[in-house]
């Protein structure tokens, strides 16, 4: 985009030509089936997340390469085990940021670091089994320049742990809290009753039997009588992260 604006300032192209080039700049066709939205980073402060789960290895490789070329980084979600060989190829040229628990992976050009925005996000999980989804939220939030305060395994089976977790994130003056829970999904309601910041309920597919697979957790969060909760879909770490980032970064602007 900088090169387009420079050509306009230098009189090499007209205003109409610049408008047309900027519109075309935003979308790039990687293949017959992949079109990346590169202007999303201007709107959202993050590049388009590459959904890996249903992509073949060659499509994934080409998409990630193009994303790094244009944006200096790529965020990849729901990476399959058999796709890790593709990720390992990128380690030779780029920095690869991951968590042993999650299926979100960030790949950056060497030396690139996202600028800090000043946004502060708390993440609390009910159980250890919820950590993989929570770690996906963390990776995306940190890539957006937010500080993340994590407290894991703070479920309501031991209410003191839940209260201690709330105390911990509030001591860092967080702007928003993502609460990750499966099973009966009650933790977001407990947290929301104790804080004056937005709580994002993120149900996970942890659980079994009647209402298992995250269904009970989702219903419980949607039916919460504790005000100040919004809810995303089951295992939707990307949606929860983007929502939290939007809140935290706007709050950070207000502090300036």
Is 195's pLDDT higher than 70?
yes
The one-character DSSP state at 228 is S
| Mean pLDDT of all residues in 1-24 | 77
**Average pLDDT of the segment spanning 34-52:** 75
Q: If you search the block for the tokens 């991951």, which residue do you land on?
A: 98
pLDDT of residue 61: 92
Please state the rounded mean pLDDT for residues 7-35.
71
Quickly state the pLDDT bin for 127 (edges 50, 70, 90). very high
Tokens of 242: 């983007």
Whether 117 has a pLDDT exceeding 60, the answer reads yes
Express each pLDDT in 197-245 by its tens digit. Answer: 999 999 999 999 999 999 999 999 999 999 999 999 999 999 999 999 9
pLDDT score, position 185: 95
Alpha carbon distance 244, 120 (integer Å) = 9
More confident position, 92 or 26: 92
Q: For the chain, what percent of residues have pLDDT higher than 70?
A: 91
Beta strands in the chain (DSSP E): 27-29, 35-37, 50-51, 73-77, 94-97, 105-109, 120-125, 147-151, 176-181, 198-203, 229-231
On average, the pLDDT of the chain sits at: 90
Among the ranges given (109-118, 177-186, 192-201), the one the predictor scored with the smallest mean pLDDT: 109-118
Give which of 250, 123, 237, 141 is closest to 177, Cα–Cα. 123
Domains and CATH numbers, the chain: 9-109 (3.30.110), 120-255 (3.40.50.1970)
């Amino acid at each position: 985009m900088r090169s387009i604006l420079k050509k306009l300032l230098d009189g090499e192209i007209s205003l109409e030509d610049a408008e047309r080039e900027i519109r075309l700049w935003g979308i790039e066709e990687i293949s017959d089936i992949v079109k990346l939205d590169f202007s999303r980073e201007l709107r959202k402060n993050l590049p388009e997340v590459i959904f890996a789960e249903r992509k073949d290895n060659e499509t994934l490789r080409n998409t990630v390469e193009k994303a790094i070329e244009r944006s200096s980084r790529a965020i990849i979600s729901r990476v399959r085990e058999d796709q890790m060989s593709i990720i390992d190829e990128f380690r030779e040229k780029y920095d690869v940021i991951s968590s042993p628990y999650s299926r979100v992976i960030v790949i950056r050009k060497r030396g690139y670091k996202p600028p800090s925005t000043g946004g502060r996000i708390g993440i609390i999980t009910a159980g250890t089994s919820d950590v993989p989804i929570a770690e996906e939220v963390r990776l995306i939030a940190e890539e957006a320049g937010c500080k993340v305060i994590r407290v894991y395994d703070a479920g309501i089976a031991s209410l003191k742990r839940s209260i201690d977790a709330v105390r911990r994130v509030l001591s860092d003056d967080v702007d928003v809290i993502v609460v990750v829970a499966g099973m009966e999904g009650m933790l977001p309601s407990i947290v929301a009753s104790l804080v004056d910041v937005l709580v994002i309920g993120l149900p996970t597919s942890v659980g079994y039997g009647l209402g298992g697979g995250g269904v009970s957790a989702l219903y419980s969060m949607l039916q919460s009588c504790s005000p100040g909760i919004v809810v995303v879909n089951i295992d939707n770490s990307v949606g929860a992260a983007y929502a939290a980032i939007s809140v935290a970064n706007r709050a950070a602007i207000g502090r300036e």
